[in-house]
A = this chain, B = another copy of it.
Amino acid sequence: MTPKGGQTSTLAGRRRQQVTIRHVAADAGVSLQTVSRVINNAPNVRPEVKQRVQSSIDKLGYVPSIAAQRLSGSRSYLILALNDRDRTIADWRERQGADWVDQMLLGGMLKVAEYGYRLMFELVDTHDDHVERELRATLAALQPDGVILTPPHSENVQITSLLQEVGIAFARIGSVQPGAGVALSMDEEEAAAMATRHLADLGHKRIGFISGAPEYSLSNRRVSGWQGEMKRRGLAVKGMLAKGDFSFESGVSATKALLDLKEPVTAIIASNDRMALGALAVAHERGLEIPSNLSLLSFDNTPVVRFTGPPLTAVDQPVADLAALAVEMIIRVLRKQEIPHQPLIVEAGLVKRSSTAPPRAA
């Protein structure tokens, strides 16, 4: 009595699953349960039966409904990637080439696919005083098996404690704080130190640093990395830290501050590409040639820095790797496998281009 499948309504009416577990069971001559066991790779199925069921599945083109799976108390095979709404939308609107979302999808989607999961990308409002309400609603509606948090959510206590409360596996990208959920981050300090080292090795002694928005903990870690390396080399840092907030404008004013010092800097490290573009604009405006008059190095390595004049040397953030690792960790948790209790640290890269060179008077 297996329905013929052609039964589907042509108009967008009530859509039923065309092939269900029942059809497969009938076709293979086994119970629903046995089919379920085969689908889920559960034990207690004789190889020959498994074989038979599998070929029925293939023949009928059966695919389990995640709605039904979820409803009956199992997995939803859904992992939710949460990003900050305002920031993400602003990035998209400005079209400055920020490809954080793309890299996250790249790393995340490919990795979840390996495990038969799906990645769903969602935006959450941080400023909102009812973050909790919004997040609870999303979780209730979607019932994901795991959640990936990105800065600044990764260290938002309202969010992390809610996730912990409802018992969802989650990863915190860009965080090194202890606590619930798997923390994983680029090695921000080392990256900043590496950038500093690169410039110092070129002969720079006065290396200025433009920090990022303080609500991102990575901002401080980058500052520390720079300070540490400077001190290690016996170079002065006083007055050479300019505050920024990741915006173009803050890059402009910070750069001006660093260039207007009694003893101006000969190199600048900007905590992100956008501020570096601000620095570039100031240099251009003042007729300073890069890199001969001023070396410039930035963080993020978004696409545009390959096309600026000159192309910028930049710290490359392994966003795709981090996302893939986050997925792996979440799936380990779901499988009740061991996970590291220390934050996972991924190395950053340094892509050398033509915005850095020895200082003029070296």
Contact = CB atoms under 8 A, between A and B. Distances in A.
B106 A12 contact: no
A17 B136 CA distance: 11
A18 B140 contact: yes
Interface stretch (A46-54, A61-69, A341-349): A61-69
Q: Which among A61, A91, A92 has the highest number of chain B CB atoms within 10 Å?
A: A92
A216 interface: no
Given A71-B65, A99-B97, A136-B63, A105 B118 contact: no
Contacts of A71: 65, 67-68, 71
Interface string A104-128: 0110011000000010111100000
Contact of A15 (B101, B122, B166): B166
A67 B308 contact: no
A17 B73 CA distance: 9
A92 B102 contact: yes
Given A8-B167, A110-B89, A165-B8, A142 B303 contact: no
Given A8-B167, A118-B142, A307-B304, A92 B65 contact: no
Nearest to A170: B12
Contacts of A73: 14-16
Interface in A124-146: 133, 136-137, 140-143
A169 interface: yes
A232 interface: no
Interface in A56-98: 61-68, 70-71, 73, 76-77, 89, 91-93, 95-97
A11 interface: yes
5 contacts: A63-B137, A67-B67, A95-B103, A95-B302, A97-B307
Q: Which 6 A-B residue pairs are closest in the complex by CB-CB distance?
A: A97-B303, A63-B140, A92-B106, A67-B70, A67-B67, A307-B307
